[in-house]
Structure 1
């Protein structure tokens, strides 16, 4: 009898298989919506090719996404200029909305929150949205002023720990 090499086939026949979690990524700045993006993006890679900081990468489906672990977004709009699809909000809407419907958080892996002096996130934050206060001891801890934060991601790639996350806000249907 021949041995089955692919374990996934065996699991399927036994009814035991794991579903892969759906990856949630931030797409290009000022995209209309994830639904529109996933339907209209042709996966031509022009946006990835013209990105000046190389912050754009491809996900498993071949769609571009922003990887703040490697770089920041300068909001140069080259990705939008290179795209032939109607994926982006208009300039009027940009006056009242940030580039992404996302939130930024600093978790407990932060060195400063663990009483180790570090202010690398503040040093790279151009709009000065990250400040440090001496609220709980001799080492200052970070605070984010979300109204000043542009969500450019410079702080994410400069952090020596995986402590800063920019994650898409999930909107519940009403």
Structure 2
């Protein structure tokens, strides 16, 4: 479905924007996260729409070549059945999104609480991970966090090795949102393959 791919592209563009801002300022602004919320809140509706159309869809192969023609040709009964399937798929889609938000929030919150002296994961990273989890769901969010953490560890090792060679003993501070963006790209591409 073209709307799903356009939505995923919009989500990734927003996350990439957060990553660029985090690289520059080392902050994720709450006002911009608030503007991202309507984008995130559409995820369960799109998931329910996708679920209702894939489970015995009313668009039969060969019946119409595009969505517009199919919608113009459906009868009132078919529309009612399609709406009924959509409404039945909506509560599980919301629960899936809420579980994803809890996954992203709780894992990064636990990492922030475990870090010494409050350095490490910031509040903006935690809130963005919750929004990303709401969009992607728990299993996809776990894959994103795993990829992001692996990339962050690799970058930390490289920077620490470089600092040892130049005899620099300064505190290492890397923004985490760029790693979340890269993890999102890796996990989304892996899911598409």
Same fold (TM over 0.5): no
More helix by share: 2
TM-score, normalised to structure 2, is 0.29
Q: Whose strand fraction is larger, Structure 1's or Structure 2's?
A: 1
RCO comparison, higher one (Cα < 8 Å, 6+): 2
